[in-house]
Amino acid sequence: MNGGNRNLWIGAVLTALFAGAALVSFLWVPYDVASLDIANKIKGPSASHPLGTDHFGRDILSMIMVGARTSIAVALVAVGIGMGIGVPLGLAAAARKGSLLDELIMRGNDLVFAFPSLLIAIMITAVFGASALNAIIAIGIFNIPVFARLTRSGALSLWTRDYVMAARVSGKGAARISFEHILPNVMNLLIVQGTIQFSLGILAEAGLSYVGLGAQPPIPSWGRMLADSQTMISFAPHMALFPGLAILLTVLGLNLMGDGLRDLFDPKLRRARR
């Protein structure tokens, strides 16, 4: 098995593990995350609580399983927003290259890039208050220019191809060509970037909920768990260790999967990278 394939497999297994934990948590969790058990608070890992309990006696494994839902949902919807808006913009910009529309889209992209998702989240929160929805919007907005630029640059090289020329000669309009001929051919690029943005979204969501700009209690989220654990890290390091590991492994899995997919889709790149 070559390196690309190995990355893909390790990444897919890690991703499936956390996605699976999130799905299972809808049906079953070891302990209810809403009920407090103060008698068992801040216990290290044991047979009854494999990852220990937090300062309210809640089971950390259960919290991580339910928290995976929040992370995955926020990051996934944010990628959806980025793709849903960014890809059509990128296609339009490429189809009308050099036009005012192209210039407007590209300058708009530059502008959004000047607002890191944390700043967007800060502005939204300052006006509307903190919530998981605001985290989704903030991360989603930042994803738009990423996909718009990628789609545009991928599409530009395709517009010069013979089969696109043939489609134009046969009388197809720019919009139809974009969706029938260009989009399917930039799909690989989009899938790879989508995986990367998904992992960045998980990191961003964790950061936002860590500083209190994301999901609010009682919704469990990995970033929130880390924020809660911070003052207790000297005597309860397990409270900080496991949620952090969950983030690290999920992001690592998605990144490895993204790398593996890129190698799979682009064998030329694979040779160059080795």
Partner 1 sequence: MLRYFLKRLLSLGLSLIVASAVIFLALEVVPGDPAAYMLGINAQEDTLAALREELGLNGSVWGRYVSWVGGMLTGDFGTSYTYRTPVAEMIGERLWISLPLALYALTLSTVIAFPAGIWAASKRGSAVDVSVMGVTQLGVAIPNFWFAMLMVLVFAINLRWFSAGGFVGWDAGFFAALKSLTLPTVALALPQASILARVMRSSLLDTLSEDFIRTARAKGLSKRQALWRHALRNALIPVLTIIGLQFSFLLAGAIIIENVFFLPGLGRLVFQSISARDLIVVESVVMLLVLAVIVVNFAVDMAYAVVDPRLRGRR
Taking the C-alpha atoms of residue 60 and residue 222, their distance in angstroms, rounded to an integer, is 10
Q: Toward partner 1, which CB reaches closer, 187 or 232?
A: 232
Nearer to partner 1, 151 or 229 (CB): 229
Which residues here bind partner 1, judged by CB under 8 A?
107, 110-111, 113-119, 122-127, 199, 203, 206-207, 210-212, 223, 226, 229-230, 233-234, 237, 240, 243-244, 247-249, 251-252, 255-256, 272-274
Decide whether 150 or 177 has the Cβ nearer to partner 1: 150
We find the least distance from the C-beta atom of residue 87 to partner 1, in angstroms, to be 21
Q: Which residue has the tokens 């903030």?
A: 138
List C-alpha distances in Å: 87 to 14, 54, 258. Answer: 28, 43, 19
**Shortest approach of partner 1 to residue 179 CB, angstroms?**
27
Q: How far is the CB of 52 from partner 1 (least distance, A)?
A: 16
Nearest residue (CB) to partner 1, 106 versus 219 = 106
| Dihedral over alpha carbons 199, 203, 208, 212 (to 10 degrees) | 120
**Can you read off the two tokens belonging to residue 145?**
């220019």
Residue number, 34 or 114, with CB nearest to partner 1: 114
Nearest approach in angstroms of CB 66 to partner 1 is 19
State the Cα–Cα distance between residues 268 and 266, nearest whole angstrom: 5
- Residue 255 and residue 7: Cα distance in Å, rounded? 9
SS3 state at 148: helix
Q: How far is the CB of 46 from partner 1 (least distance, A)?
A: 21
Phi, psi of 212 (to 5 degrees): 90, 10
Indicate the residue among 178 and 255 with the shorter CB distance to partner 1.
Answer: 255
Smallest gap from residue 253 Cβ to partner 1 (A):
8
How far is it, in rounded angstroms, from Cα 108 to Cα 101? 10
- Distance from chain centroid for Cα 223: 14
